[in-house]
Structures are given as structure tokens and as C-alpha cells.
Structure 1
């Protein structure tokens, strides 16, 4: 077990107030006790612990995402110190790959010069055009943020050497086609679509297929586009690759391991930050950069479950014919105070319908001789549901079920 990527909270506060935000507007309010910014001593401790971990596990590259809150609330000087400190690990044979997730409102020419110097890939958080984005991505006064984000995008496009990616929480009230075309018009190179971060305790009603209809409409439109009009949609491309047997995976798909940890501004080493939606101080441990190595965190049951979340599946997922593509869905979406993580995703039915649809569209595009040679067959959503119902009674309770359920409130 090892860590190969970090989400580093260089700032713990944000300059806007998205109504759905898992950090500020869900169950966990522990950000209030965090320092607003990461200190230089903590950055230096971070460098040392990355070095120790990479040398111990023979890793010659390591991925670091600057995050928040809003990372650009940090001064340009402090960001330069952070980037240069970690970049200097190349002297020890360790290549640090940088990325940053930002709402884009504060991007300046000086920031872009830093991004160019240290090859920082930048993702912009945006939820669609002005009307759609400004429903929920608002500032502290309740005003929409789209126009200010667009200004930041224009600055980045003028001064950055690399294209921008987009991270978008799906608003199912929007038109999927209009959303896609809005992102294309802004010049994004990739679109990373996220399902709203909900679990069985926070969601009013578990969605049943209406979300799948939206995603299928977008997939069909995107899949049929000519190459020069097709901007990468990461979720769809991941599913296609996994359907064809790829071993690559993301946090919310595939069958790999989640080799990522989060560093808070005070140096605390934690599990996935989205797990904060499960309860107050849910991700808090005793581990800190100033006193612990990264290997120490595997003493935590929560980090163990997150690391192995695609192997520790509930019985329904074990019975599902697409579990190697879905991976059981995103771990935070599986939580309930009744059963802990021993549940399918709240988006289970939507994912099953989407994946079977994508699989069948892909099969339709294959040459007939290849279909005959491989024996690949279509699988409808209805057939998949039937297979699950037939197989489920034959599956014993897995040995790890008690660990999944240990996070229930009753425990």
C-alpha cells in the first residue's frame, strides 16, 4: 500500500459559497479550526514526507493537486514558495506533477507565469453557462459568479501555455447539449463531470434513472460528434476504456486502488475530503506531516476502506455484471448512518443504465467480424437488473462487511 497523489489544501477558505459545497455547506464544519493558509514549515515538512515515501516505495513521480477552499487566495509569493519547494525534489530523482483546481476568479498574469514555469495543469470549476452556473455557484452575497470566472478564463487563455480543463458538478435542470456547447465555446480541453455529492442521509430521494436519461442524452450527442468537435468528457472516456478492459481507473470507476490522500493546511493527513459529507470531523485522524510518515495512515480503518473501496463492495455490487466498470461508484455516495459503507451508490441505478447504454453503443460501432471473434454481447439495463436479482441470493456476506458497517452511527 502506498500513496501516489495528494490533494493539498494550501488555503482552507473560499471566496465564493456554492450552495452544494461538501467543504462548507454539508455536515462537517471542521474547516473552521484550520489555519487559513499553509505555513512554510508545513510545506517543508510536506516535501520531506513526499521524499521519504517515494524513496521507500521506489516511486519516481508523484502527483500534487493544489486545492482549497480556493488556492489562489494564497499570495503569488507563497504559491511560488510551495511550487519551488516541491519542484526541488527532482534533485532526489522525484518528478512532481502539479495540478491546481480553482474557481478561476482570481487568476492573474503573475499566476499564469508560475503555472507555465512549473507546468501546473489548471482545472476551472464551473457548472455551465451563466444561467445554470449562477443557480448554485454564488458569492458570499448571493450573486452569481459566471462573469468573473469567465474573466479569469480569458486571462489564463492569454497567458498560459497549456489548455484549461473544466470540473463541473452536473446540474440536471440544465440542457446537456447546451452545457456541452457552453464548455466548448469557452475553449476547455477536457470536461470532468461530477455527480452531486450526496449519500443516503443527505439526499431527499434516491434518484431513479432520471439522471441516467440526462447523461445518456449527453453521451449520444458527444459520441456522434466529428473528431474536431469532440471535447474530451473524462467520465465517458473512462467508461469506454474500462468496457474494453483497461486497468486504469479513477476514484469513482474501475477496479484499481485509491492511492490518494489529503493534506490540510495544518499538515493533517486525511482520507478523501469529500467523505466530509458523512459527518462532523469524519475524516479526522491523528496523523500529521510534522509527526508522521505517509505509511502511518494505513493504520486508519477509513483510509483502508477508501484505498480498497473498489474491492470492498456490497453484495448487490458483487452481483452486478458491470461492477468492474462502475467500481461500486464513488465511496462517499455509498454512505448511510444505518449501514456505514455497506451499500451501493445512491446513483447505482443511474450508473447501471448509463454503463449498459454506453457498452451497447460501443458494440454497435465495432466491425461485425470483431464482434464474432470476441463473442461480445449486448447487455440491456433490464437484463442486468434481472442478473443481479438472480445472483444476489447466492452471494455470502463478505468478510469485510463488518468493517464497512463499523462507520454506521449505531457503532
Structure 2
């Protein structure tokens, strides 16, 4: 077991207040006890622990994603110190650090762009669609919409950054998927990663989102059908669709929420705490806290945590319904935070299970008509309708035996956590 990437919270606060934010507006409010910014001492500890980990596991490339909160709240000089300190690992130990930053875009300045260019930092900007759609949930501390300020930041980035800008967008069912796509295109994004709203069985309410009527899958399918018919030169990259296609065709790689393989990512908080996926904060107060810190621990120490082990193996440690599903190697059981229930921990399919199944079977059936027979034979992919897949799951479930890891998944029940 090893880590190949870290999401580093160089700032624990944000300059806006998105109403759906998993960091500030869900169950876990532990951010309030975190330092607002990462200290130079913690940055040096981070550098040394990355070095030790890469040397031990013979890794020559390591990924660092600057995150928050809002990472650009960090003073530009402190941001330079961070990038310079970690970049020095290349000269000292032949470890190449690849940087990216996820930002809401409002604070981007020409000075930021020069610095990000200097260290070849990839940039993603969060936006949910046009002004009306974005301003429903992505608001400032006074409740005002943020679209125009983000748009100004995008213009600065377009003018001064040397590389393309990606977009991270949460699906809004009130938006037209095609209008949203065209909005992103008009803003000169080169790629989009669409995310489903971060909810689980405990946080879900019928007022927030309906998961039984397949609205999310219908939204994504409408977008896919539009996107897939576009000429390659006109088409923006949509990571969710590209990933699903590659997994259908047998790719062995995966992301945190789909495909195969392990999740070799951890999070470092501003105080140096090493934690699993930060979206798991939606599962409860201090849910991700395990008392591992850069000051006293190596990165490998986090694998003593059952939660880290569960996250690391989340695409293998699946509920019975997932094991019975014909597309589980494509969806990977869905995003781990979306599987949580205080009654039985993570031993559940995703709350978006039916949506994922419908989207995947739709995409699979569309692309089969367009790929050569030899690839179809090699990958073993076959057409299966959504309804057929549901029937296969029901028929297969009785034949699925319980496995040892299911006890681990259920160990995160609320009563178990209180007892322990």
C-alpha cells in the first residue's frame, strides 16, 4: 500500500459559502479548530515525509493538489514558498512533484498566474453553470451570487496562464445540461468534471434531492447524447464520460469514484494532520480524524487506520448488491462517501446506484455501435439494457456470499464508533 498523491489544504477557510459544501455546511465542523493557513514548519515536514515515502516505495513522480477552503487565500509569497520547497525534491532526490490547484477563481491575479506558470501548476476552477444556476448555491458570505466575480477571474487566467483551464461542476438538476455545457465552452474551459451532489443515506432528504426518479441519470444521459455527437474538434473533454468509456473498454485504471484499482490519495490538513478523503466529513463530526500528523508520523502510518484501508480499497470492498451488478468494474461501487449509512456503515451501494447503472448501460450500448468488432471481442463488452441489468442484479444477489471485509465496512456504524 502506498500513496501517490496528496490533497493539501494550504488554507482551511474560504472566501465564499457554497450552501452544499461538504467542508463547511455538513456534519463536520472541525475546520474551526484548524489553523487558517499551513505554516512553514508544516510545509517542511510535508516535504520530508513525501521524500521518505517516495524513496521507500521507489516513486519518481508524486502529485500534490492544492486545495482548501480556498487555496488562493494564501499570501502569494507563502504560496511561492510552498511550491519552491516541494519542487526542490526534484534536484535533491530526483522526485518530480506535479502540482495542481482547485480554486473558485475569484482571487486569481496576474501575480498568481506568473507564479503558477513558473511551477507549471495545473488550474481547475469551480463553477456550476450560467449566472442563474451558479448563483443558486455558490454564493458569498452575504448570500450574493459569485458568477460575475468568477468570470472576471477566468478572464485573468485566460490572459495570463500558459496552459488550459479545467472546470469542476456540481450537477444542478434545475439546469439544462446542454446550456451548462455551452456556458463552459463559451468561457474557454477545455475540460469539465461533473460531480454528483455529496450526500449519503443519513444526510439525504427528499427536500434536497430525489434519487429514486433517475433525474441525475437522465440529466447526464441528455448531456452525453449531445456531447457524443459533436465533432472531436468542437467537443470539450468531459472526464466522467471519457472515464466511463475507457472502463467499459477494459481500462485497469480508476478514479476515486469509479473504475478499478486502489485510491492512492490522502489529505493533509493545515495543521499537518494526515487524513483520508475529505468528502468523508459528510459522514459525521471528526469522522476523518485519526491523529496522524506530519510532525510525528510517516505517510505510511495512516494505513493503520481502518478508514484509510476502506477508502484505499473502496472499489474492491463492495456491498452484495454491487458484487451482483454486471457493471461494478465500471462504476467501482460509486463514491465511498455516498455509500454511508449510520446503521451499517459503508456496506451499501451508492445512493446514486440506479443513476450510475442507467448512465453506464446507456453509454455502453451507444459506444458498442461505434467500435470495431475486434475491440468488442477483446473487451468482452456486450449490450445490456438498464432493465436487464436490474434483473441480473436481483437474480445474482442470492448467490453472493458475505466476505470478511463486510465486517470492516459495517464497523463504521454510528453505535460502533461511539463504543470505540
TM bucket by the smaller chain? over 0.9
How far apart in 2 are the matches of 1:83 and 1:378? 48
SS of residue in 2 equivalent to 1:227? coil
Cα shift at 1:364: 1.3
Instruction: Name the residue aligned to 2:36.
Output: 36
- How far has the Cα of 1:204 moved from its partner? 1.2
Q: Is the 8 A contact 1:315 1:398 kept in 2?
A: no
1:225 aligns with 2:230: yes
Pair 370,274 (structure 1): closer, same or farther in 2 beyond 3 Å: closer
1:283 and 2:284 are equivalent in the alignment? no
SS in 2 for 1:97: strand
Return closer, same or farther for 1:33/1:370 CA change in 2, 3 Å cut-off: closer
TM-score normalized by the length of structure 1: 0.98
Q: Of residues 304, 327, 331 in structure 2, which corresponds to 1:326? A: 331
Retained in 1: the 8 A contact 2:283–2:337? Answer: yes
What RMSD, in angstroms, separates the aligned Cα atoms of the two structures?
1.1
Aligned positions, number: 411
Cα distance in structure 1, aligned partners of 2:263 and 2:376: 33
Deviation at 1:203, TM superposition (A): 0.8
Matched, 1:68 2:68: yes
CA distance in 1, matches of 2:121, 2:199: 30
CA contact (8 A) 2:249 2:381 kept: no
Flag the 1:155–1:362 CA change in 2: closer, same or farther, 3 A.
Answer: same
Matches within 5 A, 1:82-121: 82-91=82-91, 92-121=93-122
Q: CA deviation at 1:368?
A: 5.6
**What's the counterpart of residue 292 of structure 1?**
297
Q: Which secondary structure state, in structure 2, belongs to the residue aligned with residue 365 of structure 1?
A: coil
- 1:49 corresponds to which residue? 49
**Equivalent-residue separation in structure 1 for 2:131 and 2:318 (angstroms):** 39
Distance 1:371 1:331 in 2: 30
- 1:25 maps to 25
Contact 2:249 2:379 in 1 (8 A): no
Q: Per the alignment, do residues 142 and 395 of structure 1 end up closer, same or farther by CA in structure 2, a change over 3 Å counting?
A: same
> In 2, Cα distance between the equivalents of 1:37 and 1:377?
51
Deviation by residue 1:241-282 (Cα, 9 ceiling, x = unmatched): 000001111001011100000000000000000000000000
Deviations 1:17-74 (A, max 9, x none): 0000000000000000000000000000000000000000000000000000000000
Deviations 1:345-386 (Å, cap 9, x if unpaired)? Answer: 000000000000000000011246765787642100011011
Distance change (3 Å), C-alpha of 1:30 and 1:175: same
Q: Is the 8 A contact 1:247 1:255 kept in 2?
A: yes
Where does residue 207 of structure 1 map in the other structure?
A: 211
Cα distance change, pair 84–210 in 1 and its aligned pair in 2 (3 A): same
Q: Report the CA distance shift for 1:370/1:81 in structure 2 as closer, same or farther (over 3 A).
A: closer
Moved over 3 A (4+): 367-376
Return closer, same or farther for 1:373/1:85 CA change in 2, 3 Å cut-off.
closer
- Give TM-score scaled by structure 2 length: 0.96
- Gap regions ≥5 residues in structure 1: none
Q: Distance in 2 between matches of 1:24 and 1:370?
A: 46
User: What residue number does 1:336 align with?
Assistant: 341
Report the CA distance shift for 1:31/1:379 in structure 2 as closer, same or farther (over 3 A): same
Partner of 2:138: 137
- Equivalent positions of 1:116-127 (< 5 A) are 116-127=117-128
Give the secondary structure class of the aligned counterpart of 2:149.
helix
**Contact 1:176 1:214 (8 Å CA) reproduced:** yes
